[in-house]
Amino acid sequence: MMNIVGALCVYAMICKHEGVPFKFIGTKEAWDHYSDVSDAGLIAEQHIWAAMEPYAKNEAFNICNGDVFKRKHFWKVLAKQFEVENGGFDGEKMCMVEMMKDKGGVWDEIVREKGLLVTKLEEVAQWLFVDMILGSECMLDTMNKSKEHGFWGFRNSKSSLVSWIDKMKGYKIVA
């Protein structure tokens, strides 16, 4: 399963460890335009609903939290959660696959120093996925069909982000 939040948390920790600003690595469009996300708990709720709701039988549905945001606002939240300097967007798209290809040793050091769950960098971050999501124009999903069929689930995306970061910290995946 692809998880951009986990990868961005790892990236923030590496920036902090190396004393460099936490720069947005995507495109200007991804920085400035509205976007949406899907909370894993909400996805699970919708799957259970679709399995139990006769009106949803043999139908396909989109899923997103139901609100929109700009990544430039969420970047501030991420920087604050990891107490790292918010480098914002400097106009230059960067390639995370390239930036992180030699950071395995840095991650190992962070894991040791912080007493985190022993993981390898490639186990906790899918850099190609980050490049794909943040390197393209934003697309918004619609929940109209789900709502028309009776699913009204919702998540506040900012609260969801902070909640998942807290969970990752609680499980000692990040610090």
Helix (H, G, I), strand (E, B) or coil at 22: strand
Terminal-residue alpha carbon distance, the chain: 22
Provide the mean pLDDT of the chain.
Answer: 94
Q: To the nearest whole percent, how much of the chain has pLDDT over 90?
A: 93
**Region of residue 150 (phi > 0: left; psi between -120 and 50: alpha; otherwise: beta):** left
Domain ranges of the chain: 4-170
Confidence check: pLDDT of 1 > 80:
no
CATH number, domain 4-170: 3.40.50.720
In which element (H, E) is residue 6 found?
Answer: helix 4-18
Confidence check: pLDDT of 12 > 60:
yes
Query: Which pLDDT score is estimated for 77?
Result: 96
Query: Which pLDDT score is estimated for 150?
Result: 95
Q: How far is CA 34 from CA 29, 61, 72, 142, in A?
A: 9, 21, 10, 13
Query: Which pLDDT score is estimated for 2?
Result: 63
Please give the average per-residue pLDDT across 156-175, as a whole number. Answer: 96
pTM of the full structure:
0.91
Confidence check: pLDDT of 20 > 60:
yes
pLDDT digits (tens, 9 = 90+) for 54-97: 999 999 999 999 999 999 999 999 999 999 999 999 998 899 99
Confidence of residue 139 (pLDDT cuts 50, 70, 90): confident
Cα–Cα distance, 145 to 73 (Å, whole number): 28
Cα–Cα distance, 97 to 35 (Å, whole number): 22
- Mention every residue, 6+ apart, whose C-beta is less than 8 A from residue 104: 120, 121, 122
Query: Which pLDDT score is estimated for 137?
Result: 76
